[in-house]
Amino acid sequence: MNHNLIKTLLLIVITSCTMCQHSPSPFQIDTDFPGGNVIVVNINGDSVQLEQDLRDTEGKWFYWSFRVKGAAGRTLNFEFTNGSVISSRGPAVSNDGGLTWKWLGDIGSSDTKFRYTFGTQEDEVYFGMGMNYTEKDLQRFLDQYKDHPGLKFETLCSSGKGRNVELLRIVNTKRTPDFKIFLSARHHCGEMMASYALEGIMETVLSDTEEGRWLRNHGDFFIVPLVDKDGVEEGDQGKNRRPHDHNRDYKLQIYPEIQAITKKVPEWLDGKPVFFLDLHCPWLRGGSDGNDPGKGTNEYLYFVGLNPENDSGKLVEKLHQFGTILEATKKGSIPYRAAFNIPYGTSWNTASNVKTPDLQKSSAWGSTLPNVIFSSTVEIPFANASGVVVDACSARELGHDLAKAIRLYLVTS
């Protein structure tokens, strides 16, 4: 073999090895964790195209969450190909296995694209349209109170797929309560920021403070933290689920969770005045409002008004009363004014939003309960509220404010 041929072969080997050393390592995208949801459309080098998995959803919605493994040291470009699915603060990111989350961007991020540079030690990173909250997060929160004498752990029912649907009771069994307080979240399973606010309410109620002691002594709490438990764990959209979602099921009652709520709540009331609040999140983004530059259609905190025609208990007036209390006493960072509320017949809060008379929402059902003194839905933005960051911390602060407002409302009512 001549020297030229040997040099040529060596050059080929060296070049091949060099290319191997500098070629990007393979990475993996998966949804094999509670709340996971995404479809990988295409991967081309450092560019990834994705879609949210709509499964049994009627029309489009925006929930997604995925995990990337093996991309340490790389910069990847992610693009969603099926509509606006990223908040105005970008995606939520967790690099500690979903324990804590932060927003990648600030106001003005793209609604379809983002770029992420993985640190050299970031071998596993979670991304989501919001800050994931599933059963493991609820259990982590409840573990702090496992020995609290005022908290009772019960089961509402088994879900359609056999999961335990939690029911939490907070009550002083040594006293007769003056009020019954119903709280729920995740009728739409993808609306996770409501769960952080619910944590804040429970933190205050269980605290050794004036508000906490008063609420435990005078109130009996019936709390369903994860109504659509299967959807939460499996990463469903939840909203607009075919044939209808959990929050449209209070007449037909095809879901075991709603069957259990509508059976057990009336039995629990015992003739006492009832305060009924269901926690939700609105659409992912919103436009500006001329009366308040920081107020977007879906990026501010508001309560939903009931139809006055079915309001024998004057709950429309009582919502305004509660809103006034919350506005005056609120201390957390998320802005709120009673004028933010959406009365019936305005914006999306119209009869046409319920497609058939066979469907009924939770708060509408709550308004029919005997001795009801409040029934409403609160909409907590996913990422941005009147220009203020919504995250786990600020949502819990909101929960603290809601708990204090509930106490003052019950005192005055």
- The beta strands (E) that lie in 305-392 are given as 372-379, 384-385, 388-389
Weakest-pLDDT range from 30-34, 75-79, 107-111, 272-276? 107-111
Q: Give the CATH number of the domain where residue 289 resides.
A: 3.40.630.10
Out of 88, 111, 128, a domain closes at 128
Lowest mean pLDDT among 12-16, 223-227, 272-276, 371-375: 12-16
Residue 39 resides in a domain: yes
In a domain, 179, yes or no: yes
The residue with greater pLDDT, 11 or 399, is 399
Report the distance separating Cα 158 and Cα 230, nearest Å.
10
Beta-strand ranges (E) seen in 45-144 are 47-51, 65-69, 75-80, 92-94, 102-103, 113-117, 124-128
Q: Average of pLDDT values for 78-101?
A: 97
Residue 206 shares a structural domain with residue 115: no
Is the pLDDT assigned to residue 237 strictly greater than 70? Answer: yes
Residues 6+ apart with CB under 8 A from 166: 135, 138, 153, 154, 155, 156, 224, 225, 226, 229
How do residues 266-292 score in pLDDT, each as one tens digit? Answer: 999 999 999 999 999 999 998 544 344
Domains of the chain: total: 2
Percent pLDDT > 90 in the chain is: 83
pLDDT digits (tens, 9 = 90+) for 41-55: 999 999 999 999 999
Alpha carbons 130 and 111: distance in angstroms, whole number: 13
Domain identity same for 141 and 99: no
Q: Cα separation of 355 and 201, whole Å?
A: 33
Q: Please give the backbone phi and psi of residue 331, each rounded to the nearest 5 degrees, phi first.
A: -120, -20
Final residue belonging to a domain, choices 128, 162, 186: 128
Same domain, 282 and 143: yes
Q: In the prediction, which pLDDT does 355 show? A: 59
d(CA 249, CA 231): 15
Distant-in-sequence, close-in-space partners of 53: CB < 8 Å, separation ≥ 6:
31, 37, 38, 39, 64, 235
Rounded CA separation 93/100 (Å)? 8
**pTM of the prediction?**
0.92
CB 362 within 8 A of CB 377: yes
CA 30/CA 40 separation, integer angstroms: 9
Is the same domain home to 223 and 78?
no
Banded model confidence at residue 349, pLDDT cuts 50, 70, 90: confident
Which of 96, 128, 160 terminates a domain? The answer is 128
Structural domain containing residue 69: 28-128
Q: What are phi and psi of 10, to 5 degrees?
A: -65, -40
Closest to 33 measured CA to CA, from 113, 137, 120, 108: 137
